[in-house]
Every structure is written in structure tokens, then in C-alpha cells.
Amino acid sequence: VTSSSRITATMRHSTSRVTKESSSSAPKCVLDRSIVNKNTVGNMTNIGLSVFAPLCGRNRGVFVLDPPDGRTYGCIEFPEKFAQIAGVTDTRGGVSIKDSNAIVDQFRVNNVSAAGTVKLLDKYIQLVYGSTADVDKLPYGCDVGGIGVLECGGDGGAAATTSLLVDGGPVRAVTLAGVFVPAPWVTGGRTLSIEEVSEFYTARDFEEMKALGLNTV
């Protein structure tokens, strides 16, 4: 998700949004629908960077199905019926999602709806996370470009949520480049003084941050 202003942001999902699980349930990494949903996915210009880069880089993007079918898949080869596995039934002409790139490609040519694309991304995130060895020991195992969230407590019991925020919600943070640490590549080659910061980052920038769902600077 990219702002039209000069905000140089790295949206990172805090590990504070982790619910304590019971011993009988395993954590699950899913797409954060409050960030990526059918209304926002079309505005994303960096799906490959946000989703495929971290997933394909982790465990080479290798995954198995649940339940398994005896085969191993990855970024460059998806199951033949991946769309159906993800619960997508509105593809045009029975189009096949043969690999990770096909998710974006088929969406761009309207062969898969926005809602269907979200389901495909969600399923891919779930499968890679669930297929990664010792993922429960990796502090950033569910770090998918800032758009993944770790869900626990799937046994139907009440899950206790801890968060840095008083409302218990996720932290969605942005860095204001050049405010406390010089960032000449952003600020036109100069170092901003405290007085100049208020002119460089205006009220409009903060309004756009809020519109994007950011809640922490």
C-alpha cells in the first residue's frame, strides 16, 4: 500500500498482535483482511514485493497441502486446482493458478475477482507458514511484508490478546524519514532541523497515514 505523499513508510505488523494459544492448537499465519481485502487489493502496486518476496525467500516458498496429497509445491509450481483449494469459484473460463505470479497476472486481466485474489493470497500465506519447519520458534515467521497476522487459540476457547495499544489492536507503524535520523535521499539532500520537520511533514501527510490504517509513528 503506497501513499501519494512523501511518506517513506515501512508498514510492519507488530508481533504484539499474538494471541495466546492452548496446547492443543497450532498458530496460523493469515492475511490481515483489515489491510488487504477486496476493496484495497486493487490499489496495491507491490503485491510481489509484499507477499511473494518474503514467502519465496522463506523455505524457498515450498509448501505442502493440508491434508497432504503426497507432493511438494512452491513459488513456481502450484497445485493444479489451487483456486478451488483456496475457495475461489468465480474464475473466468476455469483459469489455472499455476504459480505465485499467476495470482497477480490473472487478477490484472480480470480472470480472478478482487475477492478471489484475496483468498488466493491468504491460502498461499497459510500454506507456506504451515509447511515451514520449526516456524513456531521463528519470531518473524509470520512477517509477510507487514500484511500477515498470527492467529492462535483455535480450540474454540477464549484467546487472551496482548498488544502495545490500549484497544488491543495491531500496531501498524510508519517511519518518518529524516525526522530524527538524516535521510538525504528523501529530504532533497539536506538535513532537516526540528523547525523544518513541521513543514516537510504536513497535516495532510498524517491524514493520509490515518486513512491507510496506520496508528503509530
Q: Spell out, as residue ranges, where the chain has pLDDT lower than 70.
A: 1-25, 58-60, 139, 153-163
Average pLDDT score, the chain: 78
Q: Which three cell numbers stand for residue 174?
A: 510508519
Beta carbons of 35 and 12 less than 8 angstroms apart: no
pLDDT, one tens digit per residue, over 90-118 is: 888 778 899 988 998 899 899 999 999 99
In the prediction, which pLDDT does 39 show? 92
Residue 53: how many other CB atoms lie within 10 Å: 16
H helices of the chain, in order, are 47, 53-57, 82-85, 100-108, 114-131, 194-200, 203-211
In the prediction, which pLDDT does 7 show? 41
Residue that has been written with the C-alpha cell 473466468 in this structure: 92
Beta bridge partners of 28: 151
Q: What percent of the chain has pLDDT over 70?
A: 81
In the prediction, which pLDDT does 163 show? 67
The reported pTM is: 0.62
Distance CA 196, CA 202 (A): 11
First vs last C-alpha separation in the chain: 16
pLDDT, one tens digit per residue, over 3-16 is: 444 444 333 333 33
In the prediction, which pLDDT does 159 show? 42
